[in-house]
Amino acid sequence: MNSARRIGCLGLSIAWLGVLASGALADVVGGRPGAEGWRVGVAVGQMAKLSGIVDETKRAYSDYEERREEYAHRLETYSLEEFGLDKDTPIYGLRLQCTGRYFELAVGLDHLSPEATAVARRDYYLGVDKVQFEGQTYDYLLIPEGQTFDSELDAMLLDVRLRFTPFSLTIPKVLRLSPWLYAGLLGFYGQYEIDAGPATGITIYEAAEYEYVIGGRGTGSASGALPSVGLGGECVLLLGRGRHGPAELTLYGEWGLLRYDGRTSSLGFSARNEKDLDLDYTEWRLGARCDLPLNERLGFFVALEYRLIEAEATLEAQERPPEDQAVRLEKYDKAVDLEGAWWQVSAGLRF
């Protein structure tokens, strides 16, 4: 377990132990009294870590098993680091939050656009949505070893969460402790471009005779949605009370997960052919927020938040009859390991 996850575990453990231990000292009330209202704001931050590895594990379909020696040397491993996309990237977003006594709906929309220039460390055989050569469109791109290429990704992230708070523990004029359960959805859509210079020709690669364009400009898109369930909580500290109301400091944290075994299409993942997906996904969120009243109806807030997501997945071709396999021309089953961490500062109005 890495340091960020240890901190997350410790923070949530302390928060939940605090809720249990303070029960004898505090009043137990339903929901989150005094938290009702709306928040609207903007956010800016930076991707602190982005790592991803894709391992080609074996040839698709069991009828190729006896030919392992023939294709084993073709198996490749690709990483975001090789493409230069693991660098720090700015993130900009919008925030909307509607809080009732028992339920809260929070929506975040973020945009990031990493780009990089790298040199191919070996021959890169890539599948793309489209690459053109001499007026024809192909599905595969070859970046020769030593070739300089540019990579760009333009992505949107949509984060939706519904939280349910059954009760809170309050010490009047001091603090409020509120645990919650939540259901969330993290959706993403991105368009990418890989520019490996002018296209110079066509090469045939692999036993199934895939046509790869040598060089050229490959483009495509990727999308998906990750539902999750989890728990969290907040500790609201009263900093003082002014003419227009209380100033508050809120410390909060969340932990959620998804265990999924099914088809890629059920989660909205885009793929040339539908795959069988086995996914293990975990997310953490830690933050602090300060609320200051401007008048009796309007307030200002500023928040700092850190998020961590981790995903491990296997993608395998679905079983098909031999005649369908020849038409589909699927390549390799894959194992994917992804980790992303980012922080953001948000500010806006509460009413």
Query: Which of the pair, 91 or 4, is modelled with greater confidence?
Result: 91
| Tens-digit pLDDT profile for residues 304-329 | 999 999 999 998 877 765 555 555 55
pLDDT of residue 180: 97
| Residue owning tokens 């231990």 | 21
> Quick check: 58 pLDDT over 80?
no
pLDDT of residue 56: 80
> Quick check: 251 pLDDT over 50?
yes
- Which letter does DSSP use for residue 135 in this model? T
Length of the chain counted residue by residue = 351
pLDDT of residue 59: 67
Looking up residue 68, the CATH number of its domain turns out to be 2.40.128
Share of the chain above pLDDT 90, in %: 61
Grade residue 63 by pLDDT with cuts at 50, 70 and 90.
Answer: very low
pLDDT of residue 76: 79
- Mean pLDDT in the chain? 86
Answer whether 247's CB lies under 8 Å from 276's CB: no
pLDDT of residue 323: 55
- Taking the C-alpha atoms of residue 127 and residue 149, their distance in angstroms, rounded to an integer, is 16
Structural domain count, the chain: 1
Grade residue 119 by pLDDT with cuts at 50, 70 and 90.
Answer: very high
pLDDT of residue 16: 54
Least-confidence region, from 53-67, 188-202, 218-232: 53-67
Query: Which of the pair, 165 or 76, is modelled with greater confidence?
Result: 165
Answer whether 221's CB lies under 8 Å from 192's CB: yes
pLDDT of residue 183: 98
Structure-block tokens of residue 249: 């400091």
| Tens-digit pLDDT profile for residues 275-290 | 889 999 999 999 999 9
pLDDT of residue 21: 47
- Taking the C-alpha atoms of residue 269 and residue 190, their distance in angstroms, rounded to an integer, is 11
Which amino acid makes up residue 298?
Answer: L
Query: Which of the pair, 154 or 9, is modelled with greater confidence?
Result: 154
Q: Is 234 exposed, middle or buried (0-12, 13-18, 19+ CB in 10 A)?
A: buried
Q: What is the dihedral of CA 161, 38, 41, 347, to 10 degrees?
A: -100
pTM over cut 0.75: yes
The domain of 247 spans 3-350
Residues contacting 71, CB < 8 A, separation 6+ = 59, 64, 206, 207
C-alpha distance across the termini of the chain, in Å:
40
> Quick check: 207 pLDDT over 80?
no
Phi, psi at 85, each rounded to 5°: -95, 15
Answer whether 41's CB lies under 8 Å from 347's CB: yes
Least-confidence region, from 33-42, 78-87, 111-120, 268-277: 268-277
